[in-house]
Amino acid sequence: PRVRNGFSHLNKNDKERIAVVTFFPENGVSDFQKAEIIGSQRENGWAIGVRSDFDFCQTAIRKIFNDSDFTGFLAVEYGTILSSANSINWARLLPQIVYHASAYLELVNQRFISFGSPVDVCVPTGNFGNVLAAVYAKMMGIPIRKFICASNQNHVLTDFIKTGHYDLRNRKLAQTFSPSIDILKSSNLERHLYLMANKDGQLMANLYHQLESQLHFRIEKMLVEKLQQEFVADWCSEGECLAAISTTYNASGYILDPHTAVAKVVADKMQDKSCPVLIASTAHYSKFAPAIMQALGIKELNQTSSSQLYLLSSYNALPPPHEALLERMKQKEKMDYQVCVADVDVLKSHAEKLIQNWFVRKSE
């Protein structure tokens, strides 16, 4: 939604040459996230639900980018180049690097720590993007001591950091209260392993070919030890997630969203109290109202979505209510959007049709 919203503010000429399509897992986001995705459609931005999970969507997009026949056809036939606004594109990590640096400097500014003192960073992660941005922030000078990876029930990353074995065999994606980290195929881990292995591209190709063909790979002991020098990891159950939301609210009046709660649980388990821990809070709790209401013991779970939001906003909790989401839920008419099957060729067909309808029509 943020990407489409940003591109909707382009001037008229730029709108005619830049457009955004979002493929999202039809049943892999919360109702509020879906309302936000669909409701943020603009004249040059569209949403398409895919009957699959995030892993399929991301893998499909990567396959489309790697299909030189298709991308070449789009360039020649329509003068159109494909790009990505999620962390398939390295540029997605740039703003995340900035806020890791900003968070550290804010602690210094508040005199909570002195400049140069180390901190640990805990990130709820499934795709390894946000925590990789913290790695880059450290490489640029922010004194981060340990990176704490927090997983939910889909804890393939936690298991990998503990063992060096990335294993998808007999592992099925679970739908949890923290859907944005319901991911088994972590696209950014490859980037970090590449750096750790002294930029050995052939090793990465071999490992990820094995993952594709055999659903697992194992890195050598030396690389595991190198990884564990800076990374620790653990995971959080659904019950622990709800309990963290409840206890944090009762203690401070602050409502954690479920992803941040996952990080809080894991940070509490893993910190050694020798330096502060920065938790990356990754979403607003309003987008996950049913889970929040369950955590806080609010019984009116059958209310309409907008009623749930207004009820939560009446708590006067921190952070303040999500005004844009409240406005979105007020909209009486439901926006149309398309839904498609989980097939790469179908996604390609949708992309081409949207290109035809927008760019070709605009140039006529």
The whole-angstrom separation of Cα 65 and Cα 60 is 9
Domain 92-283 has CATH 3.40.50.1100: yes
Cβ proximity of 59 and 185 under 8 Å: yes
Residue ranges of E strands in 152-224: 165-167, 216-218
Shared fold status for 2-86+332-363 and 92-283 = yes
The whole-angstrom separation of Cα 124 and Cα 262 is 6
Give domain limits for the chain.
2-86+332-363, 92-283
Closest CA to 161 of 181, 138, 131, 133: 131
| Torsion angle in degrees (nearest 10) through CA of 28, 33, 39, 44 | -70
Closest CA to 135 of 103, 97, 163, 162: 97
Neighbour count for residue 51 (Cβ, 10 Å) = 14
Name the residue with tokens 């159950």: 237
Q: What are phi and psi of 24, to 5 degrees?
A: -130, 150
Residue 313 is predicted with a pLDDT of 83
- Per-residue pLDDT tens digits of the chain, which is 364 residues long: 566 667 767 788 887 788 888 999 998 888 878 888 887 777 778 899 999 999 999 999 999 999 999 999 999 999 899 998 887 888 889 999 999 999 999 999 999 999 999 999 999 999 999 999 999 999 999 999 999 999 999 999 999 999 999 999 999 999 999 999 999 999 899 999 999 999 999 999 999 999 999 999 999 999 999 999 999 999 999 999 999 999 999 999 999 999 999 999 999 999 998 999 999 998 899 889 889 999 999 876 556 777 888 888 888 889 988 877 777 766 655 678 999 999 999 999 999 998 888 876 655 5
Q: What are phi and psi of 254, to 5 degrees?
A: -105, 130
Q: Is 273 left (phi over 0), alpha (psi -120 to 50) or beta?
A: left
The CATH number given to 2-86+332-363 is: 3.40.50.1100
Q: Give the β-pairing of 165-167 and 216-218.
A: antiparallel
CB-based burial label for 262 (10 Å; 0-12, 13-18, 19+): buried
